[in-house]
Amino acid sequence: MWMQLNKTILISRLSGVLGPNSQAVVKWKSPMVVRNYARGPVRTRTIVGQQPARPQTLKEKLMAPPSANAYSLGKGAAAGAAVVGMGALCYYGIGLGKENSIANNSMLWPQYVKDRIHSTYGFFGASCIVTAASAAAVFRTPRLLSLASRGGLLWTFASLALVIGSGAVARSIEYQPGFGPKHLAWVAHCAIMGAVIAPLCFIGGPILTRAAIYTGGIVGGLSTIAVCAPNDKFLYMGGPLAIGLGVVFASSLASMWLPPTTALGAGLASMSLYGGLLLFSGFLLYDTQRLVRKAEVYPQYTMAPFDPINASMSIYLDVLNIFIRIATIMSGSRNRK
């Protein structure tokens, strides 16, 4: 269309200059003059009123629509981490590690160490059941679902304070055998977590089922790596993981104001999803070996009693964050098809 308009303007300009005797004037011009004119510099013609193109500012680039490969970096990082994890699983699984692993040390464990680890994973399984039941109950209750689905900055910080506060209360109570105040606080915390993630059920049962299966496979593979690796291999990751947690948390908060329809928002969403998936996978390795270390050293090397509920809550939060991100990634992949 622009070429046709330019051609029309050019023809009208030539007609106005040449006038009615245009044919005679054209015949009068020599071929040499035409060749010389064609060899000369070509000047671009601009339409009257058209603004010249200018380079985009940084703000315009960040707020522009995201490209088709906005999530490619996150997907590549997740794929690379999966390859590294499979290599580590094969390496430690066939016993190529020279140091003692948790699997080797487990043959020398006294019975109380085994009981502590069994009780920890028992609380972990119960936490998953309570969370799933709470999410299903809230999803089936319209008033509670509307409350859990409410957006806005105030509700976001209120729910965040409720989750962090209930977890802190549950961790602060001293553990005692038998059902007591700590168990009540632990159940309340898991129920609150289920209510907060209840809107995730809008994704649909088939996707959530597949996400749960994939999460189980990832958790099983990472737990096997933690058990087969040297018993202190991942205990030095606490500092880097804490820094990564701050970055992912800041990205998740910033994505509230910057939707993924912009380039910057898509980058933040990719950091929150794929970066969080890698981060909590590393946390699972770290928390698994820390659980075993705490079960082994009390009471010989430490005065702090072993708390299976606190140990299970760390692993539970890692697994829950992995599940949420896998479900979100799968839901986004379905919507883009």
Q: Which pLDDT does position 316 carry in this prediction?
A: 92
Whether this prediction's pTM lies above 0.85 is answered by no
Given a cut of 90, is residue 84 above it in pLDDT?
no
- For the stretch 226-281, pLDDT in tens is 888 777 788 888 888 888 888 888 877 777 776 666 666 666 777 778 888 888 88
User: Is 164 part of any domain?
Assistant: yes
Do the domain assignments include residue 318? Answer: yes
Report in angstroms the alpha-carbon separations of 223 from 68, 208, 307, 311.
35, 22, 20, 15
How many distinct structural domains can be found in the chain?
Answer: 1
Rounded Cα gap, residues 302 and 300, in angstroms: 6
51 three-state secondary structure: coil
What does the DSSP 8-state code read for residue 45? P
Phi-psi region at 152: left, alpha or beta (left = phi > 0; alpha = psi -120 to 50): left
Q: What's the CA gap between 189 and 61, in Å, rounded?
A: 42
The parent domain of residue 240 ranges over 69-336
φ and ψ of 213, to 5 deg: -65, -45
Higher pLDDT, 97 or 190: 190
* 61 found inside a domain: no
For residue 59, being part of any structural domain is answered with no
Split at pLDDT 50, 70, 90, the class of 111 is: confident
- DSSP 3-state assignment of 229? coil
Tell me what percent of the residues of the chain surpass a pLDDT of 90: 9
Measured from the Cβ of residue 143, the count of other Cβ atoms closer than 10 Å reads 8
Which is nearest to 315 in space by CA: 119, 161, 184?
Answer: 119
Closest CA relative to residue 309, chosen from 123, 146, 126, 152: 123
Q: Is residue 179 part of a domain?
A: yes
CB distance 283 to 241 below 8 Å: yes
Nearest CA-CA partner of 145 in 187, 200, 190: 200
Instruction: Output the CA angle 12-51-53, nearest 5 degrees.
Output: 115
Would 7 be classed as within a structural domain? no
Domain presence at residue 100: yes
Which pLDDT band, with edges at 50, 70 and 90, does 67 fall under? low
Q: Which neighbouring-strand residues pair with 230?
A: 101
Residue 297 DSSP class: H
